[in-house]
Amino acid sequence: MAHTWDLPAPEAGPILRPNAAGLSPGELGSLLVNLGEPAWRGKQLFSGLLRQRWTRWEQFTTLSKALRARLEAQVDLAWPAIVLSETSADGSTKHVFRLSDERQIEGVFMPYEDRVTLCLSSQVGCAMGCTFCATGQMGIIRNLSAAEIVGQVVTMLNHHAHSFDRPVNLVFMGMGEPLHNLDHLMAAFEILTDAEGLAIPPRRITVSTAGLVNGIDRLGIYPRRPRLALSLNGTTDEHRSRIMPVNRVWNLEALADSLGRFPLQSGERITLEYVLLKGVTDSLEDGRRLAAYARRFPSKVNLIPFNPHEGSGFEPPEEARISALCRLLVEAGIPVSVRRSRGQDVAGACGQLVREGRFLKPQKPEA
């Protein structure tokens, strides 16, 4: 007779195979120990994946053929596949990736003279429902795994044959709300910053959030963590709640409190992203309130002229208004930059204003 405490007979479900790109050197080491190999081979495998950026088993010539075959039976080596790439006049390339379940995400490769910046997705879709954002309108489909986050980086670096002649910056400003996927995000962060692999310094990684206070507080607990950017996009609760539903849960005051207690290193600033929507967020009063908000904690402001998409109902601001807001912030002593629609900062009038701004506190050079 079966008792209530008897476990049901296990069903033959799918065998879950980990993806090698989402495993730390320690986890790879344990895997190899289980195969009767020494643990240090885990580091060897990890550096093949993240330093050599090998993507197929036959490239792992540091491991014997027999061991490769046994590994292949245990772990996947599946990378996001690039299905579409579009390069814009300014040199940045948008890639569309297909994941193993056929879902698609986007990443952007932006080359600069002194660095390359990769814009990454953290989720398929997004649950936050910001009214001006195309991703927000699609709703949330699922979180990305650590392997899929790491995979975007390796795939883009390989596609562009990046040789680390210039340092790599990573920004989580693609699809999704990274703080809704903090566990996988931080697992990927550990892999991407590991000295045996890409060794990207934590200060070169920025996570952008719509303002999940519980997520910001959790992020602040990690001793090693990425930099923080906050999408402000509104300067009164009434206005912000209208375009960012998250503001009804954590309003501007709760957000400022959480940013104020976020542990920063010396010289570190929180980036306030501010999308300029014509007639909605781009008034001079908004600029003044934005300056006052930015002064409450060490911050810099990134103005983002709205990037129009079909059916959004919003329009980009006038050029003259962008300059006026930029000037207003500079004169208020706030470091400010303008991000153009393709994701590249422009060293136009605004950048010059920053350099000439008399009231600017000396700023550490951008990492």
| Residues classed as catalytic | 106, 350
Residue owning tokens 């507080």: 217
DSSP 69-122: HHHHHH-B---PEEEEEEE-TTS-EEEEEE-TTS-EEEEEEEE-SS-EEEE---
Q: By rule CB under 6 A, what string of x and - marks binding of each residue 228-267 to ligand SAH?
A: ---x-x----------------------------------
Query: Using CB under 6 A, which residues numbered 274 to 313 contact ligand SAH?
Result: 275, 304, 306-307, 309
Give least dist CB 235 to ligand SF4, A: 17
Give least dist CB 208 to ligand SAH, A: 4
Q: By rule CB under 6 A, what string of x and - marks binding of each residue 96-135 to ligand SF4?
A: ------------------------------x-xxx--x-x
Residue with Cβ nearer ligand SAH (304 or 350): 304
Of the candidates 48, 8, 21, 12, the one whose C-alpha atom is nearest the C-alpha of residue 192 is 21
**Does residue 189 bind ligand SAH (CB under 6 A)?**
no
* 3-state SS class at 225: coil
Residue with Cβ nearer ligand SAH (126 or 200): 126
How far is residue 314's CA from residue 275's CA, in Å, rounded to a whole number? Answer: 11
Return the bridge partners of 275, or none.
304
Q: Which does 273 bind (CB under 5 to 8 A by kind): ligand SAH, ligand SF4, none?
A: ligand SAH
DSSP state of 339: B
DSSP state of 301: E
Cα atoms found within 13 Å of the Cα of residue 224, Cβ hemisphere only: 14
**Does residue 206 bind ligand SF4 (CB under 6 A)?**
no
Cβ atoms within 10 Å of 312's Cβ, excluding its own: 15
Q: Which does 348 bind (CB under 5 to 8 A by kind): ligand SF4, ligand SAH, none?
A: none
Q: By rule CB under 6 A, what string of x and - marks binding of each residue 224-253 to ligand SF4?
A: -------x----------------------
Q: For 255, phi and psi rounded to 5 degrees?
A: -65, -45
How far is residue 330's CA from residue 295's CA, in Å, rounded to a whole number? Answer: 12
Residue with Cβ nearer ligand SAH (20 or 105): 105
Give least dist CB 173 to ligand SF4, A: 8
Of 22, 42, 80, 136, the one binding ligand SF4 (CB under 6 A) is: 136
Query: Using CB under 6 A, which residues numbered 45 to 74 contact ligand SF4?
Result: none
How far is residue 97's CA from residue 85's CA, in Å, rounded to a whole number? Answer: 9
Give least dist CB 135 to ligand SF4, A: 4
Rg value, the chain, Cα: 22
Residue with Cβ nearer ligand SAH (125 or 357): 125
The angle subtended at Cα 34 by Cα 29 and Cα 40, nearest 5°, is 25
Buried-exposed string 90-103: b where 16+ CB fall within 10 A, e elsewhere: eebbbbebebeeee
Give least dist CB 151 to ligand SF4, A: 20
Of 177, 194, 282, 286, the one binding ligand SAH (CB under 6 A) is: 177
Q: Contact residues for ligand SF4 (CB under 6 A)?
A: 126, 128-130, 133, 135-136, 176-177, 210, 231
Residues that bind ligand SAH (CB under 6 A): 126, 132-133, 173, 177, 208-210, 231, 233, 273, 275, 304, 306-307, 309
